[in-house]
Amino acid sequence: MKQYSKMSRYSSMTVSSALALLLLAGCATTATQESVPVQLHHPGQQKGQVLDQWGVEILSLRSTAAGYFLDLRYRVLDADKAQSLADTKKDAYVLDPLTQIRQDVADTPTAGQLRERGRKLIADRVYSIVFANAAKRITPGMKVTLVVGDLRLDNVEVQ
């Protein structure tokens, strides 16, 4: 019986590792891939302000993995300004404005948080943050609030 529980634990870890690798492989992006920029509808949070203040261009917030995750893609334009987005001490989440429920960064046992962390960001590269959406509360077409540290964007449409 004891051997069975060890076997079950190892197979569970293997499945978790495989899922994390598949998820990360699916999040890979190339320079030739075109992304449609998200539409920011709040007048105080227009795209230009994000570029100037944070040094990033928000490319997309998409539902992925059958709706169980939300994939944020952003291009770094000014690495020094954008570096705070990679600080894992700062909260990152998507907030459903209707229910006020937070969808935090996905955290796996083997890969940890599915976001850039600890490394210096490089200009003209695309980075991602993957948020958990386990109950599939947030669906394409919804407008949500995106928060990464001090950056707060209202009315970001999920694709």
pLDDT digits (tens, 9 = 90+) for 46-78: 444 476 788 998 888 999 999 999 999 989 999
- Model confidence at 30: pLDDT above 60: no
pTM for the complete prediction?
A: 0.67
Residues 90, 141, 62: CA angle, nearest 5 degrees: 50
pLDDT digits (tens, 9 = 90+) for 77-126: 999 988 888 887 888 899 988 889 998 888 777 766 677 766 788 999 99
pLDDT at res. 77:
92
**Cβ contacts of 140 within 8 Å, gap of 6 or more:** 62, 63, 158, 159
**Residue 44 φ then ψ, to 5°:** -80, -5
- Model confidence at 136: pLDDT above 80: yes
